[in-house]
C-alpha cells in the first residue's frame, strides 16, 4: 500500500500525571530515521533500547544508553533541555515513550518498536521498581512544577494488595495498562511499527536482534555481530548497569544494580494466587480481546 493511502495514527488527546507530560511531543522535531521504543513500562524497554543502541553503534560496549536515549514524555528534565540535547545529536536517534499511541505525535518516517510483556510480570517488576525508589525519585516526580493529579506515594509493601489495586484501578498508581497495549496492537499492521515481546527476547536473543536490525535497516558487519549480541545479554547489562539504567540509577536504593534485575518470565506464579491470576486473565480478555491478550501473555500470534 502506498504511504499516502495509509491511515496514519493521529494524536487525539494529551496525557499528564506525576510522571508524564505528552505535550512535549508537540514540540519534538522528527528526523526520518528516528527510532522510538515504546511500552507500557517494565516490559523490557531498557533492554530494547540497549539492542537499538548496540545496532546503531555496531557493538560498542561503551555506549551509555541512559544518556543518549531519553524518555521523552517524562516530566524531567524540562523539555528545552531534553529536546536541545536530542537536536544536538548527530547519530541516528533512539528515544523512549510510555504513552498510548493516541497521545503521541506519530511520524510515518520514523520506526517504532513496541515492547510487550505479560502484565503479571510487569507488575512484579513495577513493585520492585517502586519499592527501590529513593527520595530523589519522589522529589523529581512530585515536586517538579507542572505535575497533574495527585503525587505518587510509597508503595504498599504487600505485593498482592499492590497487584489488586493496580488491576482494579487500571494501572494505579502509575497509568492505565489496557489502553496502552490495545493502541499499539491496533497499529501492528503499519509498515513502520514492529511488536517485540519479552518472551521472544528471552528465547532467542540473537534472532530477535537480527529481526530488529532488519526492521531498522541496519547492517552489522559479521565481525561485529558477536559483540552486539554479547552486549545485549543480561549478564553484560547487569555488569554495566550504570550505562543502562535511567539517570545511571541515582534515583534507586542500591543504584543501577537494583534497576537491572534478572529478566525472569513467570515470576508472578510464585507471588500471585490462582484467584489473582484468573482475575487478571479475565480482565485482559475483556479489555484486549483474545488475540491481543494471548500475545501479551505469550508473545505468540502477532
Query: Which residues 6+ apart lie within 8 Å of 281 measured at CB?
Result: 293, 297
Look at the chain and report how many structural domains it folds into.
1
**Alpha carbon distances (Å) from 186 to 120, 138, 180, 220, 248:** 22, 34, 10, 31, 34
Which residue matches cell numbers 501479551? Answer: 296
- Taking only the tens place, the pLDDT of each residue in 135-170 is 999 999 999 999 999 999 999 999 999 999 999 999
In a domain, residue 238? The reply is yes
* Domain span at 16: 3-117+135-149+176-261
In a domain, residue 214? The reply is yes
In a domain, residue 99? The reply is yes
Tell me the average pLDDT of the chain. 94
pTM above 0.85, yes or no: yes
Please answer whether residues 254 and 132 qualify as being in contact, where contact means their C-beta atoms are separated by less than 8 angstroms.
Answer: yes
Alpha helices in the chain, H assignment, sequence order: 45-56, 65-68, 79-88, 119-132, 135-143, 159-168, 178-185, 198-203, 205-216, 225-231, 234-239, 241-244, 256-259, 274-288, 290-298
- Taking only the tens place, the pLDDT of each residue in 89-133 is 999 999 999 999 999 999 999 999 999 999 999 999 999 999 999
Cell of 275: 484467584
In a domain, residue 37? The reply is yes
In a domain, residue 300? The reply is no
pLDDT of residue 5: 82
Confidence of residue 265 (pLDDT cuts 50, 70, 90): confident
Cell of 79: 523539555
In a domain, residue 213? The reply is yes
In a domain, residue 278? The reply is no
User: What's the CATH code of the domain at 39?
Assistant: 3.40.50.300
In a domain, residue 269? The reply is no
Amino acid at each position: 500500500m502506498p504511504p499516502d493511502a495509509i491511515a496514519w495514527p493521529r494524536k487525539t488527546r494529551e496525557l499528564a500525571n506525576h510522571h508524564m507530560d505528552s505535550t512535549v511531543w508537540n514540540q519534538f522535531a522528527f528526523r526520518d530515521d528516528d527510532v522510538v521504543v515504546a511500552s507500557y513500562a517494565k516490559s523490557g524497554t531498557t533492554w530494547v533500547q540497549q539492542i537499538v543502541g548496540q545496532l546503531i553503534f555496531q557493538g560498542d560496549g561503551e555506549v551509555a544508553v541512559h544518556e543518549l536515549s531519553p524518555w521523552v514524555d517524562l516530566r524531567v528534565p524540562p523539555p528545552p533541555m531534553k529536546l536541545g540535547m536530542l537536536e544536538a545529536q548527530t547519530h541516528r536517534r533512539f528515544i523512549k515513550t510510555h504513552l498510548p499511541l493516541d497521545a503521541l505525535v506519530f511520524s510515518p518516517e520514523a520506526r517504532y518498536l513496541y515492547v510487550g510483556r505479560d502484565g503479571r510480570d510487569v507488575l512484579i517488576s513495577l513493585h520492585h521498581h517502586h519499592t527501590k525508589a529513593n527520595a530523589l525519585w519522589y522529589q523529581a516526580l512530585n515536586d517538579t512544577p507542572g505535575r497533574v493529579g495527585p503525587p505518587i506515594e510509597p508503595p504498599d509493601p504487600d505485593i498482592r494488595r499492590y497487584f489488586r489495586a493496580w488491576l482494579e484501578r487500571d494501572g494505579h498508581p502509575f497509568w492505565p495498562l489496557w489502553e496502552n497495549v490495545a493502541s499499539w496492537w491496533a497499529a501492528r499492521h503499519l509498515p513502520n511499527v514492529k511488536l517485540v515481546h519479552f518472551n521472544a527476547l528471552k528465547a532467542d536473543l540473537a534472532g530477535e536482534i537480527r529481526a530488529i536490525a532488519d526492521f531498522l535497516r541496519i547492517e552489522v558487519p559479521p565481525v561485529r555481530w558477536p559483540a552486539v549480541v554479547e552486549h545485549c545479554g543480561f549478564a553484560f547489562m547487569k555488569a554495566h548497569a550504570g550505562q543502562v539504567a535511567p539517570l545511571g540509577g541515582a534515583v534507586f536504593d542500591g543504584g543501577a544494580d537494583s534497576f537491572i534485575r534478572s529478566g525472569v518470565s513467570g515470576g508472578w506464579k510464585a507471588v500471585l494466587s490462582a484467584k489473582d491470576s484468573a482475575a487478571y486473565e479475565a480482565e485482559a480478555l475483556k479489555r484486549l480481546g483474545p488475540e491481543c491478550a494471548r500475545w501479551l501473555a505469550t508473545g505468540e500470534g502477532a
